[in-house]
Structure 1
Amino acid sequence: MTSLPIRDAIAPLLDALRARGRAVLQAPPGAGKTTVVPLEMLRAGLTPGRILMLEPRRLAARAAAERMAETLGEAPGETVGYRVRGDSRIGKATRIEVVTEGILTRMIQSDAELSGIGAVIFDEFHERSLNADLGLALCLEIADALREDLILLAMSATLDAAPVADLMGGAPVITSEGRNFPVDIRWRDTPLPRGARLEEATARLIEQAVAKTEGGVLVFLPGEGEIRRTQAQLILPKGCTIHPLYGALPFADQRAAISPAATGRKIVLATAIAETSLTIEDVRVVVDAGRARRARFDPGSGMSRLVTERVTRAEATQRAGRAGRVAPGTCYRLWTKGEEGALAAYPPSEIESADLTGLALELALWGARPDDLAFLTPPNPGAYAEAQAVLHMLGALDTQNRITDHGRALAALPLHPRLGHMLTLAGKAAAPLAALLADRDPLSRGAPVDLSLRIEALTDLKRFTDRRPWQVSRAALRRIRDEAKRLSQSAPETPDRAHSLAEMAALAYPDRIGLHRKGDAPRFVLSGGKGAVMDESDPLAAARLIVVTDTDGNPREARIRQAVRISEGEIRALFADRIAWTDLCDWSRRERRVIARQQERLGALPLDDRIWKDAPADAIARAMLDGVRDLGLTLTDAARRFIARVTLLRAAGHDLPDMSEPALMETLEDWLLPHLTGVRTAEEWKRFDPLPALRAMLDWPQMQLLDRLAPAHFTTPLGRKIPIDYSGEHPQIALRLQEMFGQTTHPVIAGTPLRVTLLSPAGRPVQTTMDIPGFWASSYADVRKDMRGRYPRHPWPEDPTVADPTLRAKRRGT
């Protein structure tokens, strides 16, 4: 270890920690920071307390502790020990503890001062896990408020150090240049063809790398399934041994993958577990399939799930560096050099994309809000509010967002709060289901959605495979069984009554209880308000009530991937305190009418549904407002004329309400609601006259003003009232020419001449004018000449100014 590059940075790092108590260390892969820095801090006597180093993965934590112990000539559990989930090597003399990130949170929540801990090292901080971000935020608060002597160090190979240093109060940044050997990067000549299988393409690239290079080969694949399928595709020469390497692999097999090969050439097929602090002996060649698996919030399961994405440039650089740790190496990439420019620079932090329910629970237990702590990336407010809503539903938070006693019990369990809630209420019997729901589906794609099939495979695999045609992942079942045993140890004793599988699932997913909708298609309305659909051929498609434990996450109508049948009696036994009668008066877009019903509901789930015969008129009217918003305004001609009058005077500066269509739609509740009594269908709305409601928008002085300056009618010389149309550029009327005989002045409204359209006896326009006296004196003679022949029985006097107005024809023979 004396020749490791990190040695050059040790002195300035120790000086910075002595002076400031905080630092950020940048060191490339292979520099030795993971195994050298904690020992050098111990030798320097920086703190009388223990040194706690966080690793993102269990294998890395154990490997780092074993390597440091080996350097001291000891076994793990003496000076150097480790604690990971399911395994611990810690003794009374232990001074350096290597732990996985979630363990730090549990230590802090149980002892806010971190008694006995003198320094906390965040290794591989660039991975930006949710636990690491939370752990650093909590440690910074502890150091500022309770422990000025607490030393904090963030270490990484590809981290953008400046923001982290700023977060840590302007901590010094120490950089180790490293001495990685050169790595020859080799890209594909052309992109992978569309539809090409990743495993087959990776296998061919591995075979090419083995044929053209020497030394061990480290292959990066996204997950266990891809590793197994790639291994099945490989055809390698004699002397090559293949070692899978992933987190769920038994530790003995993991150790074999990272140990030197006894004979021949070693090919390690690994997940991202091998990207950083692990040192895998003999590796000279890296084959990168270009995919990474990340934690993302999965709306289908209501928890974080792993998704497969393209690697980022930072990850690709980190992986390639594994080929040059001990000698010059080669890296084969399953993408072209041109495609590399489209890769993102850095992977997203987990806090940006993961489910925040666990984080919200931890902060409630700590008694803080997100903005109370120093997060490098603050949680999204919307996602955080959704997480708090889930905790309210589970009874983990009170109305003030403070943690409840039940919430404290959930925080103590190594589970998502949904599954912890189920385990707490259903007891040890729920441990297998909790482990199953926390893992990936052990049955192959295409298996029925029934959750009981998974439990059957878990409890009696032989009987299951004898009767069922679907493939089962035995590795996943082993993992689930092991996890179920651990969970059973931390679960409370069996409650007063045993819970069925469906009841257990409903405890975890009270918002996913589904009722079959009316109709042929297997569609379900869920108690949380969303909808879900099931394949018509699935055996559960005809079930009336189900609990949905997994969907494809489609926000409009999710497809169900896992569910279990539940009875109404089971629902009522579990949620009697949440079931209540609700009066509903809603507009139905499908039926185009107001529907008034009384429903006994669990959330959005109607367990009983009855017609609300005596629904109040005001409730129906309010529901009809939504109908108006759906159907739009229906205006009679009289209503349109009234609106035009008001709009004319409003434009002239008078204080009158805005009656534009957008304004009327926005204020429906103010002007229309009091007049909607008795209207409940689209047909009734079509016949509704809104004029009285519009007139009621004006008070008495406003109506007087309107009638004076923009009257609704023009009174003809015969005393007949004709509606004035205000919709055009000028107010206008249309009437028979004979009705204007004797009119010697042009009619004026509010100082504006009316546009008058004079009609023939047949009602056809013969002249439009804004000057009646001028028309009599000029054009009338020509009109008279033309009209006398067409309508001889109607009067056409030579001087219309002295003639009597009339609408009658002359008697026959006159």
Structure 2
Amino acid sequence: MFKSESLPVDTLESEIGRAAGQGGFVLTAPTGSGKSTRVPVMLHKILPGKIWVLEPRVLAARLLCRRVSEELGTEPGTVCGFLTRHEKSVNKNTAIIFITEGLFLRLCQNGVPPDTGAVIFDEFHERNLASDLALSMVRKKVTTVVMSATIEAERITAWLGTEHLRAESRNYPVNIGYLPPKPGEPIWQHAVRALEKLLNEGASGNVLIFMPGVYEINRTVQVLREFYSSERYSILRLFGDMEKSGQEEIFTDSVRRKIIVSTNIAETSLTLDNIGMVIDSGLVRMHRFFPGRGVSTLLVENCSRASSDQRSGRAGRTMPGKAIRLWSEKDHALRPAHTEPEIRRVDMAETCLFLRAAGIEPAKFEWFEEPLPSALAEAETLLIALGALDEKNNLTVSGRAMAESAMHPRLSRMVFEAEKRGAKNKALLFAAIIEDGSFCTREFEPDPAESDFELLGKLLCAAAAHNFTSAFCSEHGILGFRAVNVLRTYRHYALLAGETPDADNAMSEDSSAAGLALLSAYPDMLCVKENEGHAVCRLSDGRSAEISKNSCVRRKKYFIAAEYIKTSGRANDKARVNLCSAVSLADIHSLFGGELVRRQTCLYYKARGRVSAEESLCFRGLVLQSSPADPVPDAASLELARAFLDNEFVHPGREKSERYLCRLRFLSGACPEFAIPVFDRNDMMVLLSEFFSGATSVEEIQDRDLTMAWRAGLDYRQMELLDKHAPESIKLENGTQIKIIYDCRPTARVVLQKLYGVHTHPEVGGKVKVLLDILAPNQRTVQKTDDLAGFWKGAYVQIRKELAGRYPKHKWI
């Protein structure tokens, strides 16, 4: 066997052999130590059966297969091969197979593939849902190996019950610096500023810049090409679904210094030679599912500390390196230590269906990482709505077919509905577009097709007819590499569904049938445009979003959106919907007529001072259409009551009403034995709505005594007790009548002279002393007391002396 060089993992060969014979191991080894290429070969030498190596990315599977084959001195697809959804290079005798995680999971639908010698989970720290699920499926059934540079090894080792092996690093040191952004500085300009700093410091080697996605990569490349000559620098892009020719250029030797702008695909697995400088944006695009809203959103988030360590380490593979992080060291300390597992942040519907089809109840499955209970509940609710499960969560016949379709349950539901309507092939093409995303960068004009899918399908067929040439794709705003992927996914889905892949034929099928199929799969993504002149739409659950500029349905009232995008998880950030298809009210009636309800909504309009009503047709809380109506009396009075409680209009009796309620609250607390009710908001809404009965405007209730509303909530005995023990005013022993304010405690404001002759401190509630706020002749407080006898004996002497001098005409005793 040919090996190009000795790597740190080679020193562990005997330990790896021993641990493999005992069921597996966890291996932590730094980037570049040879774990991805050498360990599979070591296991192949000692274990019968196939060695499956699970990779998180297609590119890694293909390149690692090539590298291992080079070291073995064989051709890819012979001893070592690879399998992805769209590519394969294997034969029946292939012993080492690099495979994407999701595809391997599909192979496990009916158990671990036969003739399996070992399953290796490479780069497990990425914690993708498919790898977590596959790990639980193969655990204790075959030799299981988990590998990473930054994994939480102790936890996974304990769960697997295996040994933990470590390979030492032989990487060169990397000097890490921090360069926070300037206010308002775009991340691509920030990265170029960091590169200029590194070059001025004399850093050597090629450059690797990490960006969160293709958009940021393209902007960075654009700025770089303005500053750096193509004669001296080769400025390259690297991301998962780019064309192969572009990927190959990354790994081809060049006399020019390379500046590679990449997503986190370059973080692990891939060996990029001669990287001496790393510039890390610290950002990553991550899918998050929001239980309760039922949507998955692609967010740009800060990467974990472990990820940033992985990225920085790319600079120390072949030489001493330098890395600049585009944030502060203080910010770095606040970042999470590890990337949150996908199982805690993505839609679980497909996983739940997979487990149900395997006869496993998701709640009882032996997860390495437990999913959120709310996410499981949301998933099973969706599966019931799609017809994959019955009301008791049992798998239906349709559910079994969905599980075998290799598509998300929503897409399966769409295809099944379309098949009933004679548009199966078109739905399969639409499913591929949803799976891989839009491949068009231009804005669509409003189109009679009324569907982004129809326009994208036509563009795809036209691009295929022109062999996806750069000239044609550029002219029509088509991302050629992504369009090719969509076509390949469509062909994959069509073959699995027993259809002949023919995109042109698919596009000839009934458009309205395909639109109804979309509606059946995405009823919770039904959108209603708010105003003709705006691009804002409403969805169920109170969500709103802007219609993408790339959508052709911007003038339609009703449409389905298959994509809901938010750039961050902050509640006030705008969301955007894309991949839309118009539907009609008749379409909604035909599929969900039983769920449509009519309701009247009454709203108080402050400017008019009255309640107006609208009659609405609603679907799952979403208003589809509305028109003015005469208010239902009870609803109108209830809305007036709400407006009063929310202080939306002036009423002359409001102050008197509040004083009455304060008396009630006081007596209820002071004398609980009286069982005086304390009205909460709901009680007040009921009492006021009854009191406002028949009224629709403020004018009609202006002369009504609001205390009568509260008295209606008391019986005769309670009203007597209130008047006796919490009166509005009381008579002092000298005959003076004082008004009681029932606030935090009963209080009375009284001029000092009016207390002459009063020796017994006044009480209410039978035992609660009134706080006397004693006033000078100018109505200003001179003393507060709840001990009048003590006041006369003490503080009064000095107060009388001061006030007598200030007010000599007043009587002082």
Report the TM range for the smaller structure's normalisation. Answer: 0.7 to 0.9
The 2-side partners of 1:614 and 1:204 are apart by 64
Where 2:41 maps in the other structure, the secondary structure is helix
Q: Which residue of 2 aligns with 1:444?
A: 441
Is it true that 1:249 corresponds to 2:242 in the alignment? yes
Closer/same/farther in 2, CA of residues 68 and 733 from structure 1, 3 Å limit: closer
The 1-side partners of 2:334 and 2:671 are apart by 60
Aligned-partner residue type, residue 64 of structure 1: L
Shift, 1:349, TM fit: 2.9
Shift, 1:28, TM fit: 0.9
Closer/same/farther in 2, CA of residues 343 and 459 from structure 1, 3 Å limit: farther
Closer/same/farther in 2, CA of residues 308 and 531 from structure 1, 3 Å limit: closer
Q: Equivalent of 1:198, from 188, 193, 202?
A: 188
Closer/same/farther in 2, CA of residues 413 and 680 from structure 1, 3 Å limit: farther
Shift, 1:681, TM fit: 4.6
Q: Report which stretch shifted further, 82-91 or 291-300.
A: 291-300
Shift, 1:523, TM fit: 4.4
Aligned-partner residue type, residue 38 of structure 2: V
Q: Equivalent of 1:655, from 656, 659, 673?
A: 673
Shift, 1:225, TM fit: 4.8
Q: Which residue of 2 aligns with 1:318?
A: 310
Closer/same/farther in 2, CA of residues 449 and 751 from structure 1, 3 Å limit: same
Q: Which residue of 1 aligns with 2:167?
A: 176
Question: What does 1:366-765 align with in structure 2 at a 5 Å threshold?
Answer: 366=358, 372-426=364-418, 427-444=424-441, 451=452, 453-460=455-462, 471-491=477-497, 499=512, 502-503=515-516, 505-517=518-530, 521=534, 523-527=536-540, 529-533=542-546, 541-550=554-563, 553=566, 558-559=575-576, 563-573=580-590, 575-588=591-604, 598-607=615-624, 609=626, 615=632, 617=634, 626-627=642-643, 629-631=645-647, 639=657, 642-643=660-661, 645-657=663-675, 663-668=679-684, 677-684=693-700, 688-706=704-722, 709=725, 727=742
The 2-side partners of 1:550 and 1:492 are apart by 27
Shift, 1:434, TM fit: 2.8
Q: Which residue of 2 aligns with 1:24?
A: 26
Closer/same/farther in 2, CA of residues 361 and 731 from structure 1, 3 Å limit: same
Q: Report which stretch shifted further, 640-649 or 8-17.
A: 640-649
Aligned-partner residue type, residue 176 of structure 1: A
The 1-side partners of 2:150 and 2:349 are apart by 29
TM-score (norm 2): 0.74
Shift, 1:555, TM fit: 5.3
Structure 2: gaps of 5 or more residues: 419-423, 500-505, 751-759, 774-787, 790-813
The 1-side partners of 2:221 and 2:644 are apart by 64
For the 8 Å contact 2:761–2:769, the answer to whether it is kept is: yes
Q: Which residue of 2 aligns with 1:781?
A: none
The 1-side partners of 2:169 and 2:207 are apart by 22
The 1-side partners of 2:631 and 2:281 are apart by 65
Aligned-partner residue type, residue 567 of structure 1: S
For the 8 Å contact 1:641–1:725, the answer to whether it is kept is: no
TM-score (norm 1): 0.74
Aligned-residue RMSD, C-alpha: 5.2
The 2-side partners of 1:592 and 1:536 are apart by 40
For the 8 Å contact 1:449–1:563, the answer to whether it is kept is: no
Describe the superposition over 1:298-318 as per-residue Cα deviations: whole angstroms up to 9, x where unpaired. 889976565555554433432
The 2-side partners of 1:263 and 1:523 are apart by 51
Aligned-partner residue type, residue 86 of structure 1: H
Q: Which residue of 1 aligns with 2:757?
A: none
The 2-side partners of 1:8 and 1:388 are apart by 48
The 1-side partners of 2:305 and 2:182 are apart by 19
For the 8 Å contact 1:422–1:508, the answer to whether it is kept is: yes
Shift, 1:198, TM fit: 1.6
Describe the superposition over 1:143-179 as per-residue Cα deviations: whole angstroms up to 9, x where unpaired. 3xxx4xx33221101112122223334x332111132
For the 8 Å contact 2:633–2:695, the answer to whether it is kept is: no
Closer/same/farther in 2, CA of residues 580 and 209 from structure 1, 3 Å limit: same
Aligned-partner residue type, residue 619 of structure 2: L
Shift, 1:469, TM fit: 8.6
For the 8 Å contact 1:77–1:89, the answer to whether it is kept is: yes
Q: Which residue of 1 aligns with 2:55?
A: 55
Q: Which residue of 1 aligns with 2:792?
A: none
Shift, 1:6, TM fit: 0.8
Q: Which residue of 2 aligns with 1:283?
A: 274
Aligned-partner residue type, residue 481 of structure 1: L
Q: Which residue of 2 aligns with 1:103?
A: 103
Is it true that 1:164 corresponds to 2:156 in the alignment? yes
For the 8 Å contact 1:245–1:254, the answer to whether it is kept is: yes
Q: Which residue of 2 aligns with 1:802?
A: none
Closer/same/farther in 2, CA of residues 390 and 731 from structure 1, 3 Å limit: same
Shift, 1:125, TM fit: 0.5
The 2-side partners of 1:251 and 1:214 are apart by 28
Closer/same/farther in 2, CA of residues 97 and 551 from structure 1, 3 Å limit: closer
The 2-side partners of 1:72 and 1:519 are apart by 65
Aligned-partner residue type, residue 45 of structure 2: R
For the 8 Å contact 2:203–2:277, the answer to whether it is kept is: no
The 1-side partners of 2:661 and 2:182 are apart by 65
Q: Which residue of 2 aligns with 1:788?
A: none
Aligned-partner residue type, residue 295 of structure 1: M
Shift, 1:608, TM fit: 5.4
Aligned-partner residue type, residue 185 of structure 1: N
Q: Which residue of 2 aligns with 1:87?
A: 87
Describe the superposition over 1:236-264 as per-residue Cα deviations: whole angstroms up to 9, x where unpaired. 57587666543213446535543x63877
Where 2:75 maps in the other structure, the secondary structure is coil
Shift, 1:89, TM fit: 3.1
Closer/same/farther in 2, CA of residues 638 and 227 from structure 1, 3 Å limit: closer
For the 8 Å contact 2:286–2:301, the answer to whether it is kept is: no
Shift, 1:605, TM fit: 4.2
Would you say how many aligned residue pairs link Structure 1 and Structure 2? 733
For the 8 Å contact 1:431–1:487, the answer to whether it is kept is: yes
Structure 1: gaps of 5 or more residues: 717-721, 735-744, 758-769, 772-814
Is it true that 1:155 corresponds to 2:147 in the alignment? yes
The 1-side partners of 2:740 and 2:680 are apart by 21
Shift, 1:130, TM fit: 2.1
Closer/same/farther in 2, CA of residues 480 and 588 from structure 1, 3 Å limit: farther
Describe the superposition over 1:662-700 as per-residue Cα deviations: whole angstroms up to 9, x where unpaired. x43254467656656435555556555444443344445
Aligned-partner residue type, residue 159 of structure 1: I
The 2-side partners of 1:349 and 1:756 are apart by 64
Describe the superposition over 1:198-238 as per-residue Cα deviations: whole angstroms up to 9, x where unpaired. 27954993997699677666554444455555556444575
Q: Report which stretch shifted further, 421-430 or 563-572.
A: 563-572
Closer/same/farther in 2, CA of residues 242 and 190 from structure 1, 3 Å limit: closer
Quick one: percent identity of the two aligned structures? 27
Shift, 1:87, TM fit: 1.7
Closer/same/farther in 2, CA of residues 79 and 629 from structure 1, 3 Å limit: farther
Shift, 1:703, TM fit: 4.4
